[in-house]
Amino acid sequence: MKGLYLLTSILTMIGCSHSNTVSNQQESQKVKVEQTTNIKSNSKQEPAPDRNSRKSYTLNDVTDQVMNVEGQKKVNQTVSTIPRKSSTLLNVVLIKQNPELRYGCEVTSLAMVLHYAGAKTDKMDLYRRIQKDPDPLIKSARGDILRWGNPADGFVGDMTGRRAGYAVFDQPMVTLINQKLPGRAVNLTNQPFDSVLAHVSSGYPVVVWTTGDYRLPDRWEGWYHGNQFIKTPLDLHAVVLVGYDTNHVYLNDPLSGRKQVRVNKVQFIRSWKALQSRAVSYK
């Protein structure tokens, strides 16, 4: 989770070193609203067709329909759930980001994954090698962020905490994995979470983006990077997905220093999707 301690007029910290808790009551209320919305949308009925407008079918029409059904069967056969174990737990070494890398949860998480893969590296090596976005932080007189870098291009700010730091997203991490494991990086970003679990089931830990308390983000910030406006949650964090069972996922957290933290799976997936479903690993 990232920190931004210099935004004194708005907040004390953002990212890896601070988080807010969303109550279970708030979560349940959100679920009830979603369920009510689904019920309303499903209750809409299409008007009954006019019997006089029905067409007569020829033999060719029937043949086309049969062919369409057969084609749909083939499509359905190709869309299958990726096979995976019902549960698994990988013994991935725990590495803490502090005190050297106050905002280095991404590269510290990646250090755990690469260590498991047998690569010779550590968090400080990855800190030096990760692509950086050099755009400086520009604030208003009130302390609001006006301009800064783009985490999709490289790490934004100072990872050590000597100056303000924020985050890096999946693509620079993929590039770094390929430096250490040439041609073996796997970008699982925007894949279904079942695909991420299947990758863990196959024996590969995964770096995943979430929030500091593994819940939905509720604090957002925005700034310009050139002509692009970047809106992103303040309490962004990265951890290592090392296992799962029916109802939980298990995480190595570089900030809290806890190994195989058990988290409700549904709750975690919500936070992961809110962070744009980012995940990287190797094969």
Write the pLDDT tens digit of every residue in 234-246.
889 999 999 999 9
pLDDT > 50? residue 58: no
Measured in degrees and rounded to the nearest 5, phi and psi for residue 81 equal -70, 135
Kindly report, residue by residue over 175-220, the tens digit of the pLDDT: 999 999 999 999 999 999 999 999 999 999 999 999 999 999 988 9
Query: For residue 111, which phi and psi values (nearest 5 degrees)?
Result: -60, -40
Range of the domain at 178: 82-282
Q: What is the CATH number of the domain that holds 185?
A: 3.90.70.10
**What average pLDDT does the chain have?**
81
- Taking the C-alpha atoms of residue 62 and residue 69, their distance in angstroms, rounded to an integer, is 11
Q: Is residue 14 part of a domain?
A: no
Q: Examine the pLDDT at 57 and tell me if it is beyond 70.
A: no
In a domain, 58, yes or no: no
Element (H, E) at 242: strand 236-244
Q: What is the pTM of this model?
A: 0.74
User: Per residue in 81-131, pLDDT tens?
Assistant: 567 999 999 999 999 999 999 999 999 999 999 999 999 999 999 999 999
In this prediction, residue 20 carries a pLDDT of 38
Q: How many domains is the chain built from?
A: 1
Is residue 157 in some structural domain?
A: yes
Lowest pLDDT segment from 13-27, 183-197, 262-276: 13-27
Asked if the structure places residue 21 within a domain, the reply is no
Between residues 51 and 116, the one the model is more confident about: 116
Residue 271 to residue 213: CA distance in whole angstroms: 9
8: in domain: no
Number of helices and strands in the chain (H, E): 7, 13
Instruction: With a cut of 70, say whether residue 38 has pLDDT above it.
Output: no
* Confidence label for 80 from pLDDT (cuts 50, 70 and 90): very low
Q: Residue 14 above 70 pLDDT?
A: no
| Residues 211/282, Cβ–Cβ less than 8 Å | no
Residue 15 lies in a domain: no
With vertex at residue 107, the alpha carbon angle to CA 255 and CA 163, rounded to the nearest 5 degrees, is: 75
d(CA 96, CA 98): 6
88/29: higher pLDDT: 88
Model pLDDT, residue 63: 41
What's the CA gap between 221 and 166, in Å, rounded? 11
- Cis preceding-peptide flag for 217 (omega within 30 of 0): no
Phi-psi region of 15 (alpha: psi -120 to 50; beta: other; left: phi over 0): left
b/e map 111-148, b = 16+ CB within 10 Å = bbbbbbbebebebebbbeebebbebebebeeeeebeeb
Look up tokens 């968090």; give the residue.
123
* Spatial separation of the C-alpha atoms in residues 44 and 251, rounded to whole Å: 42
Smallest CA-to-CA distance from 108 within 128, 92, 124, 132 is with 124
Q: Residue 34 falls within a domain, yes or no?
A: no
